[in-house]
Amino acid sequence: MASKPGRIVVMWGHLLLLAVIAAVVIYYWMDTRAASMRTVNLLLVQPASIFALFLVLALVPQCFRRVGPDEEEGEKETIGDLARVFTLMAAFIAFALSMQYVGFDVATFSFMVVGLRLCGERNWFLNLGFSAAFTALLIWGYGAIIPFPFPLTVL
């Protein structure tokens, strides 16, 4: 790695986060103005939005870091580690969004199996057994308490 003194590293993830925050703030500010231009409606949202956007601008430079030649880039995080986080995240999103459609039992069990595997459980018997038991316990427990129907497919 031949890095010259003062090489600039861009933290793309940080930049993306700031972009998302800025986009949400701008959308919300504009939507509030569209709802009504009365002062009582803009009283807090408008100044807070402007302040937030100002903060985003002030933070953008922090997404660029100057790394010295001998400087370590912190503890190394492997691509594999990050990939596992993203896979788990994707599985979680799929689980949360699908549970009403495929049934809480099926969605929970599937997510448990995938989640346990991703988190490092190599024993499939243990994985399937724990997932099934936990799913049943949870559905029974919450089902007994909450005053809402639970869409179920198998149980």
Partner 1 sequence: MTNKFSRRDMLRLAGVSAAAATVASPAILRAQSGYPSRPISVVVPFNTGGYNDRLARAFAPMLQPLLGQPLNIVNRGGAGALLGHTFFMQQPDDGYTICLSSFGPYIPLNILTQNATFTVEDFHMINLPSQDYTLMATSADSDLHSIDDVMERIRNDPASVSIGVQPASADLVNLTILMEAEGISTDDLTLVNYDGGGPARNAAAGGVVDVALVGGQGFLPLAEQIRPLLTFSDEQRDGWEGALITNVLGDDAPFVAGSQRGFGVHSSFVENHPDRYQILLDAIETASKDPANIASLEEQQLATTWYGPETSNRQLRSTAALMEQYLDLLVGD
Partner 2 sequence: MIDMNSLAGAVALLTSSFEAWLWLIPGLMIGLFFGAMPGISITMAMAIFLPMTLYMEFLPAIIFLTAIYTAAGFGGSVPAVLMNIPGTTSAVATTFDGYPMARSGRHNEALGVALAASVFGTLVSYALLMFLIAPVSRVVLRLGPLELFAVAVWGMLLIGSLASKSMLRGLLAGVFGVLLGTVGFSSAGFIRGTMDIPWLFDGVPVIPAMMGLLAASQLLGLINTKYLISDEASRSISFRKIISGMRMSFKQPFIIGRGAMIGVLVGSIPGVGSSISNLLSYAETKRNAPDSDTFGTGNPKGVIAAESANSSSEGGAMATMLALGIPGGGATAILLAAFAMNNIVGGPSFIANQMDIVYAIIFANFAQAVLLLIVGLGFVYIAGYVVRVPLRFLIPSVLVVAAFGSYAIEGSAAGPITLVVFSVLGWAMVRYQYPVAATVVGLLLGRMLENELARTFQIGRQSIEGIFNYALTRPGALTIFALMLVSIGASAYAKHRRRKKGKTILAEEE
Distance CA 52, CA 117 (A): 40
Based on the shown chain and the rule CB under 8 A, indicate whether residue 149 belongs to the binding site for partner 1: yes
**Do residues 56 and 26 lie in contact, with contact meaning Cβ atoms separated by under 8 Å?**
no
Instruction: Please report how close the Cβ of residue 147 comes to partner 1 at its closest, in angstroms.
Output: 5
**Do residues 95 and 60 lie in contact, with contact meaning Cβ atoms separated by under 8 Å?**
no
Based on the shown chain and the rule CB under 8 A, indicate whether residue 51 belongs to the binding site for partner 2: yes
Q: How many CB atoms lie within 10 A of CB 133?
A: 11
Based on the shown chain and the rule CB under 8 A, indicate whether residue 144 belongs to the binding site for partner 1: no
133 phi and psi, to 5 degrees? -65, -45
Select the residue interacting with partner 2 from 38, 70, 125, 154 (CB under 8 A). 38
Based on the shown chain and the rule CB under 8 A, indicate whether residue 116 belongs to the binding site for partner 2: yes
Binding positions for partner 1, 19-58, rule CB under 8 A: 36, 38, 40
DSSP annotation of 18: H
Based on the shown chain and the rule CB under 8 A, indicate whether residue 76 belongs to the binding site for partner 1: no
Q: What angle do CA 109, 113, 115 make, to 5 degrees?
A: 110
Tokens of 7: 């090489």
Distance CA 29, CA 23 (A): 10
- The residues that touch partner 2, with contacts defined as CB under 8 A, are 11, 13-14, 16-17, 20-21, 24-25, 27-28, 31-32, 35-36, 38-41, 43-45, 48-49, 51-52, 55-56, 58-59, 62, 81, 84-85, 88-89, 92-93, 95-97, 99-100, 104, 108, 111-112, 114-116, 118-121, 130, 134-135, 138, 141-142, 145-149
- The residues that touch partner 1, with contacts defined as CB under 8 A, are 36, 38, 40, 147-149
